[in-house]
Structure 1
Amino acid sequence: MAISQYPSKLSLPIINPGVATVFEYLLIKFPYVKASVWQQRINDGKVHYHDGSLLTMQSPFQSQQRIYYYREVENEPIIPFAENILFQDQHILIAYKPHFLAVTPGGIYVSECLQNRLRQRTGIDTLQALHRLDRVTAGLVMFSINPETRALYHDLFENKRIHKTYQAVAKIIKNQALIDKEWQVNNRIETSEPRFTMRITEGEANSHSIIKCIQQTTQQALFELTPITGKTHQLRVHMQSLGFPILNDKYYPHLQPLSADDYSAPLQLLAKELKFIDPITQQPRHFQYDGNLSLL
């Protein structure tokens, strides 16, 4: 049994979904976790409020309370790839996340995520991710170190003042001439079925990406991708909408059956650059991962 040494946090919603206790809400919020598991966690003192006081099975639901709990999984896979710290000061840390490593705990991953690895490596328990990358995507992630300045850096992402650049590799048809071609992709992306996938629908556009081919061989092309908006799976959906699904994508264009990770065939998507004006110094910041995706 793997048990996280760091608590996960949730805030109870403003609108009560029709429950009397926090326990009942947890059953609705996490439908795949058995009631007996939550009952055991509560009885073992593994669920508490922000002030450290423990929940009981009878603790009443009160909107906007913060609840902390410790995630557990039977068998946690070990991801055989290393992270790398590119930059660190008193406010932020920039790290490279390898393919297959989650940014924060989720699913079958408790301790084996970038945030927990970095907390253990640096000894900074206040380290907190400011944004997310899909587990199967590699690249740069920014973390807040100082809780007192965290809101300033969160605001960069909330108000779209972060410029992100990605790379992706896709198969192409022989003899296609794509280098320097650029696509402005604007469309509406909504949740599909199953709900962890996304689809393009009719209606007002809510997603925007700029995609450019920067290198190609007879079989594959390397694309530079700039997301203007930040919808879930946006770049993966936009690439497949152009007829260039990202190499080794198990969701798009067709959802593949659930299977173990194939470490020899990672999704060919890399979060390569972050640019922004630092909210404290007002100076431009530019962080770039030195590696590139490779073409056959």
Structure 2
Amino acid sequence: RGRHVAQTALVRLRRELGLPELSPAHRLDRLTAGVLLFTTRRELRGAYQTMFARGTVRKTYLARAAVNPNVVLPRIVRSRIVKRRGHLQAVSEPGEPNAETLIEPSPARYPPGDGLYRLTPRTGRTHQLRVHMAALGLAIVGDPLYPQVIDVAADDFTAPLRLLAHCLEFDDPVHGYRRRFVSRRAV
């Protein structure tokens, strides 16, 4: 599904920009909005994709979710997340953790009961942020999968997932200097 967004964005941008070599350097879940890094030259693609594979990119997300006074933040959530073929949801299972997320409250205010959270994943498992938030009782607003599956048409955007890939920071593997890309979108 993460590939679906990249491919959809990829096809659209290749067509609109006339860049046949355009390729995504990483993936986002289909319902996640925000910063997505593309490369324009085939010979440089691997260097950028390797940064993501090695976990050297600092990724920051913003999410809207209910406020739960019983949840102490900031906190690091670690778990073993498994996504099985044919199942919509990823699940946390007992065992050695393979997913880690720093979850922090953000001072922004929303309607009563809603809060803004800054999520910094240190790993990149499928649905990791959504699984970790739901496990804390902080299901992300508009999430059709967590904590339970809700039947929503694929083309229904009336209640979007309030999860935004807000910022990417990394040392450019080609030019050597620090790069920072920030989304201007609101959650």
* d(CA) in 1 for partners of 2:20, 2:154: 31
Measured after TM superposition, the shift of residue 271 of structure 1 is 0.1
User: How far, CA to CA, are the matches of 2:55 and 2:158 in structure 1?
Assistant: 34
- Give, in angstroms, the shift of residue 196 of structure 1: 3.2
Aligned to 1:230: 124
Shift of 1:267: 0.3
Pair 1:141–1:220, CA change in 2 (3 A): same
Distance 2:185 2:70 in 1: 25
1:102 matched to 2:9: no
CA offset digits 1:165-218 (Å, max 9, x no partner): 000001235xx387x930100010112585232001101100000000113453
What is the total number of aligned residue pairs between the two structures?
182
Task: Determine the C-alpha separation between the residues in 2 that align with 1:172 and 1:182.
Answer: 13
Show the counterpart of 2:161.
Answer: 267
1:245 aligns with 2:148: no
Shift, 1:242, TM fit: 0.7
Higher RCO (C-alpha under 8 Å, 6+ residues apart): 2
Q: Which amino acid aligns with 1:103?
A: A
Equivalent-residue separation in structure 2 for 1:265 and 1:253 (angstroms)? 16
Helix, strand or coil for the counterpart of 1:195? coil
Aligned to 1:210: 102
Answer with 121-130 or 251-260: which moved more. Answer: 251-260
Overall identity of the aligned pairs, in %:
36
What amino acid maps onto 1:247 in structure 2?
V
State TM-score, norm by structure 1: 0.58
CA distance in 1, matches of 2:97, 2:89: 18
Q: 1:194 to 1:251 in 2, by over 3 A?
A: farther
Tell me the amino acid that sits aligned with residue 200 of structure 1.
S
Q: 5+ unaligned residues in a row in structure 2: which ranges?
A: none
Alpha-carbon distance, 1:131 to partner: 0.9
The letter for the 1-side match of 2:101 is S
Structure 1: state its 5+ residue gaps.
1-100, 105-112
Give the whole-Å Cα distance in 1 for the aligned partners of 2:130 and 2:155.
18
1:283 equivalent among 172, 177, 187: 177
For the residue of structure 1 that corresponds to 2:105, the secondary structure is strand
Q: Which residue of 2 aligns with 1:257?
A: 151
Structure having the higher helix fraction is 2
Larger radius of gyration: 1
